[in-house]
Amino acid sequence: MTRAVFHPEAESEMLASARWYEERCAGLGAAFLSEVEAAIGRISATPDAWAIVSDQIRRYRLHRFPFAVLYRPEPDRIYILAVMHLHREPGYWEHRR
């Protein structure tokens, strides 16, 4: 399995989203992080399985939350560019390439 490395802004937005969910309902933030972790496990196991959205950037949609993990498979790692909300500011992450 290939290791995942987060862009610093991607990690920050993931943690901010988890805090937001946790503030609304105890345990929901942990559930969000758990789903992101499971997504990264699937991505690491089969990085080429999900749709390309731009150049070599791929998108994995979470099941329970309206988020996607945007990533770029590289020879020695999976580079996570964004953990983005699907209904806000599309393309905000593009400067992270």
What is 55-85 written as a DSSP string?
A: TTEEEEE-SSSSEEEEEEEETTEEEEEEEEE
Provide the whole-model pTM: 0.91
Residue 67: domain span: 4-88
In this structure, is residue 55 part of a structural domain? Answer: yes
Total count of domains within the chain = 1
CATH number at residue 79: 3.30.2310.20
- Does residue 95 belong to any structural domain of this protein? no
pLDDT confidence band for 43 (50 / 70 / 90): very high
- Over the stretch 46-92, which tens digit does the pLDDT of each residue have? 999 999 998 899 999 999 999 999 999 999 999 999 999 998 777 66
